[in-house]
A = this chain, B = another copy of it.
Amino acid sequence: MSILVRTIHRLFVIEMKEKYDKLLSKTKEIQVVGEIQQLMGWDTEVMMPKGAVMQRSEQQAYLAMHNHHKQIDPEIGILLKEIKEDKEFENLSFIEKRNIYLIQRDYDKATKVPPEFVAEFTKASVIATEVWKEARKENDFAKFLPHLEKVFELSKKLANYLNPDLHPYDVLLDFFEPSMSIEKYNEIFNPLKEATIELIRKCNESPNKPDKTIIKRKVPLNIQEKISLDIMKLLDYDLERGRLDTAAHPFTTGSYDDVRITTRYLEDNFTSSLFAVAHEGGHGCYDQNIAKEQRYLPVGNYCSMGVHESQSRFYENIIGRSKSFWWYYLPRLKEISEEIFKDVEYKEFLLAINRVEPSLIRVEADEVTYNLHIILRFELERDLFEDKIKIADLPELWKDKMKEMLGVDVPNDSDGVLQDIHWSGGSFGYFPTYTLGNVYGAQFFAKLKQDIPDWNEQLEKGNVNVLTDWLKKNVQEKGNLYDPPELVKEVTGEFLNPNYLIEHLNEKYSQLYEF
């Protein structure tokens, strides 16, 4: 190249770089404001004095509005357009292009929906959630019905704003989990459903009956707190960059160097907190472990809800309820809890914490039956959006499906169709990501077993970090470098395949229940 051409070329590159940097400084600010919102949300649940509810809602409303304004800043749109039209665009690195892609995706989400509609949707879902609380308390679906119908209609409208060319439920499924659709979920959930029903039948027929009384032994809170700290250390959750508190419903919030998890302690069910700490600890480790060099970039976020859930469920179930882990941990638990579990045998303990037991409530369900609770919700949502069923028919359909899939009689709507908050808030399409987390997790696990053939001996020795390091390196550090399907391909060399979960469950539970 001549000097002139080189100089012009460099000027273009500089101009492009400046635009790119400006764009990233804008999205970094959005992230920083988001972190402040997370802190306030945490404080609201964990620390805030009761009387401050109204004052806090003013603060939260202000920051939400402020952040929304930043998200819809027209300059973001202009910069995106200019960068993409620039001749130099093709010369951007993989990560730079991915950042641009993610910024465009978020910008579209924030700007395709008119502000008046956002206000209408927010208002309707806030009211619906309040009515849902009452309706659940009073077992009165009829009271909730018109509000749920309204929120459902608005959800369809939202989908239409986001992408008028696609089926609305496909739009919402993709909204909560990038690249998912009705068809893809059908492909995963249909075989999983069939296999799970069969597995539950076998467990039920087994002569091995779990002894639940073991886990109902009273464990004082100070001992449960010791167990929590011990579990967090084993899982490599970094307490220098996080903390554990108690909240009404366990959750995780924060990012990078400030990731906080919560649990709740029940004196007569110590496993409730133990597995909550493992679950939230898994979420927490993911947020802590995203690669340092990706921080504050769009690729420095987590990949998706489903992948986040894959980590929490990996820590809670695949590690936390495994045969190998408890070979190591039961003696340690006996030591920490002094006399309480002295007489407990390994095999009966393992069966007690892994009992398969069809029940009414999703959040209390075990590792096996849980997925059917999700598939039930997915099928209802799908049929609603395909106009095959009506909102008004949900209570009866719920009962039928619970009987059909889990063999459970639903005695009332409070413990049936009214049990979850999600629909009242307009989150149609969210539920499936929970089970997707299990599907991802099992596929990761299959690859981990190939990479670390002695994984179970390591667990038996208490070297949990051999597994968590693998997850960190292969999944967590990558943040949002890939959409979920590509991440799964990148990590495991294969596209998503529900058979890994089916095999994992069949293998684990046939051993436990001996069939």
User: How far, in angstroms, from A26 to B212 measured CA to CA in the complex?
Assistant: 60
Chain B residue with the shortest CB-CB distance to A239: B49
CB neighbors of B among A46-70 (8 A): 47-52, 54-56, 58-59, 62-63, 66
- Measured between C-beta atoms, what is the minimum distance from A117 to chain B in Å? 25
B residues near A48, Cβ cutoff 8 Å: 258
Task: Tell me if A420 counts as interface (CB < 8 A to partner B).
Answer: no
User: How does the 8 Å CB contact mask read for A331-347 relative to B, with 1 for contact and 0 for none?
Assistant: 00000000000000000
B-contacting residues of A (Cβ < 8 Å)?
Answer: 29, 32-33, 35-36, 39-40, 43, 47-52, 54-56, 58-59, 62-63, 66, 238-243, 256-258, 260
Q: Quick check: A50 and B240 within 8 Å, CB to CB?
A: yes
Q: List 25 A-B contacts (CB under 8 A).
A: A29-B62, A32-B58, A32-B62, A33-B62, A35-B59, A36-B36, A36-B40, A36-B59, A36-B62, A39-B39, A39-B43, A39-B59, A47-B243, A49-B241, A49-B242, A49-B243, A50-B241, A51-B238, A51-B257, A51-B258, A52-B241, A52-B257, A52-B258, A54-B257, A55-B256
How many protomers of this protein does the assembly include? Answer: 2
B residues near A58, Cβ cutoff 8 Å: 32
B residues near A239, Cβ cutoff 8 Å: 49
Q: Quick check: A51 and B241 within 8 Å, CB to CB?
A: yes
User: How far, in angstroms, from A496 to B241 measured CA to CA in the complex?
Assistant: 51
Additional pairs, 12, CB under 8 Å, beyond known A32-B59, A55-B258: A29-B62, A33-B62, A35-B55, A39-B39, A48-B258, A49-B258, A49-B260, A50-B241, A51-B240, A51-B258, A52-B241, A56-B258
User: How far, in angstroms, from A256 to B48 measured CA to CA in the complex?
Assistant: 13
B residues near A62, Cβ cutoff 8 Å: 29, 32-33, 36
